Structure formats: C-alpha cells, structure tokens
C-alpha cells in the first residue's frame, strides 16, 4: 500500500497551484498539506525531510514518484518533459522573477529590485513570444495540439496567472500583444473549472490587496509597509 498521495503546497505559489488544479481536475485522491512560505514553513526541519531543496510544491507517494503523474504514452511524456524543461528556464524564470521584483518580494522577505525586474521582463517577453509563435502555433488552441490540460501547460498557465497581481498598466503592456496566449489562458480556465478558480482565489484576494495598497499610496503619497502579513490571511 502506497497510502494517499500527499501534495505539499502553498496556494500563493504558482507551481503549487498547477499541481493542485491537475490533481483536482483528474480526480486524484490526495491530501493537500499547506506549507506557508510567508511564515517560512518551507525552511522547517520537517519540510527539509520532505524536500531538501526547500521549495514547493513537493509530492510524496510512498517514496517520491512523479512518473505516474505523466501520461503513459512515451512520446507524449517526452514532449511534456521538453515543454517543462523549456518552461522552467524561460517562462518561469522570467515571470516569477518579474513578479517577485515588482510586487511579491516583500511578502517573502525579499527587497524589490527594479534592475532585476527589468532583466526578468526581457526573459518574460522573449518567452511569451516563443509561446505565442512556437508552442501555440499548431491549431492555436491547446498546447501540443492536445485537448487535455497536461501538467506542462497547467504549469505555464499558472505561471502567467500570477501576473494578475501586477499593476494594471504592467499587466496589459506585457500580456496584451499575445492574443493566442490570452485565449489559451481562457481555454484552460474553462476546461479545468471550477478547480481553476477555486485554487486561484487566494491570488485574486492578493490582487485586491495590492490594488488597495497602490491606491492608498497614490492618494496619500505614503509608502506601503513592506509586509503583506501571512499569505493565508489574504
């Protein structure tokens, strides 16, 4: 007996959201174990036992075993791996660093850096262009021409969804030129609902909080305090 699959996740983390939506959408019987990054739970000795890299998400099923989450067809599995490889060093690299350096950093104890944000934006824009013109270039509908949301494309869509917390101007400057990408996000939302919206609720609450913070700064000219408080309260 392997026992129930355990997913260690923080819903404020985009790869965590991708895995949670994937498991819910596929009707996988799993237990979600919350790891609150804003409270440094990922740095605890207990979590280090689960994932020595101290990152979420992490999956435990008896012993670590990710392979059965992937499709059994070898060619399709290889394609998904190649998309994930590209995603981690391109789209994730650009989007996560942009969001951390413009909005989210202080909530996890990191300072904002306009210079790092500018560098991340270049990676993000070049990744979006490749996504639009290469990955989504088939029928322009679903990635790799497949109509089932794979973990690869949920990961990428969740990566892009985190841009919701940006200032409206930045959000539209970055995303609006990429029509296929925008359509793909909508298609994924529709295909995986209600799970998609449920898992993104925490992000929508954070978005509202950041909007209020920005309008207070605009009205009063005072800087926001550098803390968002615990994510779980957003």
Query: Please, which of residues 124-153 interact with ligand GSH by CB under 6 A?
Result: none
Give the Å distances, CA to CA, from 54 to 36, 41, 49, 180.
12, 9, 9, 35
- Which residues does 177 contact at the CB level (< 8 Å), separation at least 6? 128
Q: Which is nearer to ligand GSH, 106 or 179 (CB)?
A: 106
Q: Which is nearer to ligand GSH, 24 or 55 (CB)?
A: 55
Helices 151-161 + 91-99 axis angle, to 10: 30
Q: Is residue 93 involved in binding ligand GSH (CB under 6 A)?
A: no
Q: Which is nearer to ligand GSH, 49 or 223 (CB)?
A: 49
Q: Which is nearer to ligand GSH, 37 or 124 (CB)?
A: 37
Q: Count Cβ atoms below 10 Å from residue 98 Cβ, excluding itself.
A: 26
Give the Å distances, CA to CA, from 92 to 13, 65, 121, 192.
12, 23, 11, 21
Q: Is residue 39 involved in binding ligand GSH (CB under 6 A)?
A: no
Q: Which stretch binds ligand GSH (CB under 6 A): 22-30, 50-58, 118-126, 197-205?
A: 50-58
For residue 68, how far is the Cα from the chain centroid? 22
User: Residue 217 CB, nearest distance to ligand GSH (Å)?
Assistant: 25
Q: Which stretch binds ligand GSH (CB under 6 A): 9-17, 142-150, 168-176, 206-214?
A: 9-17
- Which position among 6, 34, 39, 55 is part of the footprint of ligand GSH (CB under 6 A)? 55
């Amino acid at each position: 007996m392997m026992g129930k699959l355990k997913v260690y996740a923080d819903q404020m983390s985009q790869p965590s959201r991708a895995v949670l939506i994937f498991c819910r959408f596929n009707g996988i019987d799993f237990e979600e174990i919350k790891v609150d990054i804003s409270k440094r739970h990922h740095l605890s000795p207990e979590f280090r036992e689960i994932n020595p890299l101290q990152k979420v998400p992490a999956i435990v099923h008896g012993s670590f075993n990710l392979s059965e989450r992937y499709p059994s067809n070898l060619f399709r599995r290889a394609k998904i791996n190649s998309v994930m490889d590209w995603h981690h060093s391109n789209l994730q690299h650009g989007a996560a660093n942009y969001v951390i350096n413009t909005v989210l950093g202080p909530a996890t104890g990191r300072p904002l850096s306009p210079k790092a944000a500018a560098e991340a934006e270049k990676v993000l824009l070049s990744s979006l262009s490749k996504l639009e013109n290469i990955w989504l270039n088939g029928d322009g509908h679903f990635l790799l021409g497949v109509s089932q949301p794979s973990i690869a494309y949920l990961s990428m869509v969740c990566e892009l969804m985190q841009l919701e917390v940006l200032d409206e101007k930045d959000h539209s400057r970055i995303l609006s030129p990429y029509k296929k990408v925008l359509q793909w996000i909508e298609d994924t939302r529709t295909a995986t609902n209600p799970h998609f919206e449920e898992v993104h609720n925490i992000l929508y609450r954070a978005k509202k909080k950041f909007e209020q913070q920005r309008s207070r700064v605009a009205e009063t000219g005072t800087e926001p305090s550098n803390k968002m408080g615990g994510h779980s309260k957003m």
